[in-house]
Amino acid sequence: MQTGQTGPALGQVFADIRGTLASLMSSKGTPEGLQRIILSWDFWEIEDNASNGGGVIPDLEALPKSFDSAEDYVYRFEPLVLEECGALMLRGNEEGIQSEPFQAVCASHKLKGEFLLARLAVPPSVAESLRENDAVLLSKEDPNSEDAEGRLHAIGRVDSKEGTNIIIVQFHLTAESQAGNPAGVQRVRAMQAGLQTKESCWYLLRLCNLTTIQREWCALHAFPKLPFRSTLLSATAPDKPQEHALVIPEAVQQAMAAEYNESQMAAVTAGLDRSPVILIQGPPGTGKTRTIMGLLSIILHAAPANTAGLVKRAAAQPMPDYARGDLDRLWRLASPWLSGTANPRDEVVMIGTSHSSETFGLLDMEQPIRVGKTVGPKAHVLVCAPSNSALDEIVARLLQHGVLDWRGDSYSPSIVRVGLSVHHSVMSVAMDTLINKRMQSEKGSASSARASREKARMAILEEADIVCSTLSFSGAGLFERMSRPFDVVVIDEAAQAVEPSTLVPMVLGCQQVFLVGDPVQLPATVISDRADKHGYSTSLFKRLQTSGFPVQMLDTQYRMHPRIAHFPAATFYAGNLRNGEGVEAGTSRTWHEHPCFGPLALFHVDGTEAIEERATSILNVAEASMVLSLYMELRARYSHLSSSNQIAVISPYKAQVGLLRSKFDEALGERARQLVDVSTIDGFQGREKDIVIFSAVRSTKSKGGRSRIGFVADERRLNVGLTRARASLLVVGNFQALQSDANWRALVQHAKVTGCFYRVVPPIAQYLGRVVKGELGPTAQKAKAQGGSAFVPQAEPEVEDDADLYSDAEDMDTAQ
Ligand SMILES: Nc1ncnc2c1ncn2[C@@H]1O[C@H](COP(=O)(O)OP(=O)(O)OP(=O)(O)O)[C@@H](O)[C@H]1O
């Protein structure tokens, strides 16, 4: 050993390591940071771990309700994001969702930093089906063959495409990426050599798309820069800085008071004290969308509470003649949302009606100036939702009804809907439509079409009052390039998003965020069971709410007949959900003359659940027959229903949905799909129909005191299932099994007490006919017991204390 040289050499090594670590740490929150991690994974190892109950991250920790610091927050969320990413990659492989593997030839390669970019030639149809950021498995053997595991393979990411048949795939094949794993080092070296071999042949399998997870990863790492991070970390509301409170114009207040109930008014005005985070809980049918419309009117037109006094001060100092170009700067000065607690608009208030110098001549005491096409300073608002459909519902409502201006009159604010899969009804405000319009009006411009489209895109984005995007798309590059950040972010269905997903729009510079949702309905779908068990599916909304953060609860429902709303209101909302005025009259229907058609009816069918062929879901044939019989009976008796599309059939299980669809197809022919909407409960969240028939499927009785009805027992799923119907909710199930769950049992009790519990007696097809005639069912039973006619109105039966619902045959419909 040459001792003389050891010191400096080691010093240099440590310096290099420190340098490398520092650069790795600083780039960790970038897309490359995530790619560096994911592309070093051994796909088959992850799969083995998963089949043994493990995952990508060996020791996951449950998420706490609050965090010590921003670093602690990032540190705890990181493994869960990675775990979910691993599960996403495996999912396709397990469920056979993704395409079959394809053959690819490596045409050439090049190194880019620590990554290797391989140019792979694939059939044009494959190239077309792959998207940028798709994770792919490149393997020497067919991944479906027995020999594939352990052979030469690596996870890559589609970086870009060339022509019609070349995809550029990025790999991370450095020995450092496999630190501490000699087998891994061997694998990546062999892989690198393989890709460097001229025209080497491979199998390529698409795993999943990484775009959303990449955006969440970047947002997570931007969390330490959030202005209101301490509120999110501690999960406690900060003290309210009342001196900076905003008010809304009197006219707006009056116009809204006529349209909004008290809880809606409280919700839409909750941000006027400039609290950075506001939670609005909207149980089913409580006017969440209407509340968001009101919120937008207020966000766009609120002004500082102390405007009147300041106006006098401003009047004493005549305003200079402002050039048009200064307006944006002035707007920023005037905007209350931009600057947290110290708000410059409290110092200088500008009022007026146009952009001329007269604007600042204090013409109108009530109206603060805005910059843009309409008058007065306005906030730049981003409205997000987890899904395209939820988002387009808001956009459609905005287009239909507009928002209120400072006079309380409705007008159309400038809106842009960015992103993909825009519903045709809102296409008029889609980004591409607006760009095309603008380009047409600016024909003859010297700049290239591409550059001017880009310029137009940014201008539209910055000029719009309201920008609408899905949560994921708000992480797209164009938002980062904006020079005018968003002041306020409104997130609809916020309880249906994992927390890192909610961060994506928040890190775009806003000062205030409104989370609107309902944690008592279904949460985000998390693919990884492990991540789910460790709290990853808990939304930010739910985490804050369960920590005692104040929540504005919308407390009046306008959707359901009161007899449908009664049980969910009592069970899931602690009785704090009242019925809107006129809702009973508005949801009463002729078919309610027969209690078996609602408003609420439960039908016990002694069916048996069965596992469907692919063993991934469950069905129940007897229940499907009963559902079809109910529908046919309704149709036969109320002819207008035979052409109505106001009937939905929902079930927790996909296999049951499939079975029901085929039964309806058989019975109704090609019009079946238009007439009856058959869907999973999860797919029906946020929707409603006049009549909803709910098939619960499960029939396995509890054993050893343990419920065996799977996720049908999830109260959020039950809540969604029971709150989709406006006029009639007809539940078909094996209640002998379902009663093992406390909520289901309570529902059965409720149905018995209110005389709408029916035990279906085979043959099913005839049963309903006899019920309607009064020969069977609770009414007949009561009538018989009281020696009266079946159709004489009866008092409600007494509540019984029945330890076992099914041992007491008298309790059911016994008139057979
Ligand atoms: N204050 C109100 N007074 C009368 N009707 C109202 C009021 N608020 C909402 N509604 C009615 O309630 C129904 C549901 O409202 P809206 O469509 O805004 O809610 P949503 O967000 O779509 O539903 P959900 O609460 O299920 O998410 C609509 O028919 C609406 O007209």
Q: Give per-residue pLDDT as tens, 316-339.
A: 444 444 444 454 444 444 444 443
pLDDT at 367: 40
pLDDT of 290 > 60? The answer is yes
pLDDT at 451: 77
pLDDT band at 288 (very low <50, low <70, confident <90, very high): very high
How far, in Å, CA of 288 to CA of 557, rounded?
10
The full DSSP string for 577-624 is -EEPTTHHHHH--GGGGSGGGSSEEEEE-----EE-TTSS-EE-HHHH
Q: Which atom of ligand 1 is nearest to the CA of 558?
A: 12
| Structure confidence by residue, pLDDT tens digits, 357-371 | 333 333 333 344 333
Closest CA to 497 of 723, 219, 295: 219
In sequence order, what are the residues at sequence separation of 6 or more whose Cβ sits closer than 8 angstroms to the Cβ of residue 703? Answer: none
> How many angstroms separate the Cα of 82 from the Cα of each of 207, 213, 216, 489, 500?
15, 9, 11, 26, 12
pLDDT at 766: 81
Mean pLDDT in residue range 740-769: 87
b (16+ CB within 10 A) / e for 614-633: eeebbbbebbbbbbbbbbbb
Higher pLDDT, 549 or 47: 549
Among 8-22, 296-310, 616-630, which is the least confidently predicted range?
Answer: 8-22
Ligand 1 contact via 684 beta carbon (within 6 Å):
no
3-state secondary structure of 281: strand
CA of 773 to the centre of ligand 1 (A): 37
pLDDT band at 309 (very low <50, low <70, confident <90, very high): very low
b (16+ CB within 10 A) / e for 756-787: bbbbbbeebeebbeebbebebbbbbbbbeeee
CA of 558 to the centre of ligand 1 (A): 6
**Residue pair 605/764 in contact by the 8 Å Cβ criterion:** yes
In sequence order, which ranges of 669-706 are alpha helices (DSSP H)?
672-675, 681-684
CA of 136 to the centre of ligand 1 (A): 44
Q: Which atom of ligand 1 is nearest to the CA of 290?
A: 18
At residue 31, φ and ψ (nearest 5 deg) are -55, -40
> How many angstroms separate the Cα of 805 from the Cα of each of 472, 603, 816?
48, 14, 18
Among 13-17, 184-188, 240-244, 573-577, which is the least confidently predicted range?
Answer: 13-17
pLDDT at 665: 93
pLDDT band at 26 (very low <50, low <70, confident <90, very high): low
CA of 781 to the centre of ligand 1 (A): 39
User: What is the predicted ipTM?
Assistant: 0.96
| Structure confidence by residue, pLDDT tens digits, 425-456 | 999 999 999 999 888 877 655 556 777 888 89
In sequence order, what are the residues at sequence separation of 6 or more whose Cβ sits closer than 8 angstroms to the Cβ of residue 182? Answer: none
Mean pLDDT in residue range 733-756: 90
Ligand 1 contact via 289 beta carbon (within 6 Å):
yes
**Residue pair 560/732 in contact by the 8 Å Cβ criterion:** no
pLDDT at 807: 28
Ligand 1 contact via 288 beta carbon (within 6 Å):
yes
| Highest mean predicted confidence (pLDDT) among 192-196, 601-605, 640-644, 809-813 | 601-605
pLDDT of 683 > 90? The answer is no
Higher pLDDT, 92 or 34: 34
pLDDT band at 497 (very low <50, low <70, confident <90, very high): very high
pLDDT at 97: 45
Nearest CA to ligand 1 atom 10: 287
Closest CA to 777 of 759, 797, 752: 759
Ligand 1 contact via 264 beta carbon (within 6 Å):
yes
Ligand 1 contact via 726 beta carbon (within 6 Å):
no
pLDDT at 774: 75
Ligand 1 contact via 287 beta carbon (within 6 Å):
yes
Higher pLDDT, 703 or 279: 279
Six token digits for residue 464: 């719009």
Mean pLDDT in residue range 696-705: 74
- Pairing of the two strands 303-304 and 201-209: unpaired
CA of 365 to the centre of ligand 1 (A): 35
Mean pLDDT in residue range 88-92: 82
3-state secondary structure of 562: helix
Nearest CA to ligand 1 atom 22: 289
How far, in Å, CA of 366 to CA of 249, rounded?
7
CA of 683 to the centre of ligand 1 (A): 20
**Cα 245 to the chain's mean position, in Å?**
31
Ligand 1 contact via 558 beta carbon (within 6 Å):
yes
Q: What is the DSSP letter of 319?
A: P
At residue 651, φ and ψ (nearest 5 deg) are -155, 150
CA of 244 to the centre of ligand 1 (A): 32
pLDDT of 133 > 60? The answer is yes
pLDDT at 545: 97
pLDDT of 788 > 60? The answer is no
pLDDT at 174: 86
At residue 169, φ and ψ (nearest 5 deg) are -115, 135
Ligand 1 contact via 261 beta carbon (within 6 Å):
yes
In sequence order, which ranges of 322-375 are alpha helices (DSSP H)?
327-334
The strands making up 512-517's β-sheet, listed across from edge to edge, are 415-417, 466-470, 381-385, 488-491, 512-517, 277-281, 551-553
pLDDT at 199: 83
Ligand 1 contact via 281 beta carbon (within 6 Å):
no
Torsion angle of the four alpha carbons 621, 623, 625, 626, in this order, in degrees rounded to the nearest 10: 170
pLDDT band at 518 (very low <50, low <70, confident <90, very high): very high
| Strand spans (E) along 402-518 | 403-404, 410-411, 415-417, 466-470, 488-491, 512-517
Ligand 1 contact via 194 beta carbon (within 6 Å):
no
Mean pLDDT in residue range 172-195: 86
pLDDT at 585: 96
SS (H, E, C) 75-110: HHHHHHHHHHHHHHHHHHHHHCCCCCCEEEEEEEEE
| Structure confidence by residue, pLDDT tens digits, 592-602 | 998 889 899 99
Q: Which residues pair with 359 in a beta bridge?
A: none
Ligand 1 contact via 282 beta carbon (within 6 Å):
yes
Ligand 1 contact via 580 beta carbon (within 6 Å):
yes
Higher pLDDT, 645 or 587: 587
- Pairing of the two strands 381-385 and 488-491: parallel
The full DSSP string for 200-247 is -EEEEEEEEE-HHHHHHHHHHHHGGG-TTHHHHHHTSPPPP-GGG-EE
Q: Which atom of ligand 1 is nearest to the CA of 293?
A: 18
pLDDT of 85 > 80? The answer is yes
Q: Which atom of ligand 1 is nearest to the CA of 518?
A: 27
Q: What share of the chain is helix, strand, coil (3-state, %, to 5)?
A: 45, 15, 35
pLDDT at 533: 93
Nearest CA to ligand 1 atom 24: 285
pLDDT at 613: 67
Nearest CA to ligand 1 atom 16: 287
**Cα 815 to the chain's mean position, in Å?**
47
pLDDT at 204: 92
b (16+ CB within 10 A) / e for 572-594: bbeeebbbbeebeeebebebeeb
Query: 């002998």: which residue's tokens?
Result: 736
> How many angstroms separate the Cα of 223 from the Cα of each of 23, 77, 107, 538, 545?
19, 11, 41, 18, 20
pLDDT at 611: 77
Among 368-382, 531-545, 655-669, 785-799, which is the least confidently predicted range?
Answer: 785-799
Torsion angle of the four alpha carbons 376, 382, 387, 390, in this order, in degrees rounded to the nearest 10: -20
Q: Which of 256, 289, 687 to mutate to test the pocket of ligand 1 (most atoms within 8 A of CB)?
A: 289
Mean pLDDT in residue range 253-262: 92
Q: What's the mean pLDDT when you consider all of the chain?
A: 81
Higher pLDDT, 348 or 498: 498
pLDDT at 393: 92
Mean pLDDT in residue range 481-501: 93
In sequence order, what are the residues at sequence separation of 6 or more whose Cβ sits closer than 8 angstroms to the Cβ of residue 779? Answer: 595, 755, 790, 791, 794
**Cα 798 to the chain's mean position, in Å?**
43
Six token digits for residue 676: 């009856």
Q: Which atom of ligand 1 is nearest to the CA of 259?
A: 1
CA of 260 to the centre of ligand 1 (A): 10
In sequence order, what are the residues at sequence separation of 6 or more whose Cβ sits closer than 8 angstroms to the Cβ of residue 240? Answer: 273, 274, 275
Closest CA to 598 of 750, 725, 774, 781: 725
pLDDT at 142: 85
How many Cβ atoms sit within 10 Å of the Cβ of residue 292?
26
In sequence order, which ranges of 483-612 are alpha helices (DSSP H)?
499-506, 529-533, 540-546, 562-572, 583-587
pLDDT of 108 > 70? The answer is yes
pLDDT band at 14 (very low <50, low <70, confident <90, very high): very low
pLDDT of 310 > 70? The answer is no
Whole-number percent of the chain with pLDDT over 90? 48
pLDDT at 9: 52
Mean pLDDT in residue range 707-732: 87
Q: Which atom of ligand 1 is nearest to the CA of 284?
A: 26
Q: Which atom of ligand 1 is nearest to the CA of 723?
A: 26
Among 145-159, 185-199, 260-274, which is the least confidently predicted range?
Answer: 145-159
Among 165-179, 245-259, 297-311, 800-814, which is the least confidently predicted range?
Answer: 800-814
Ligand 1 contact via 290 beta carbon (within 6 Å):
yes
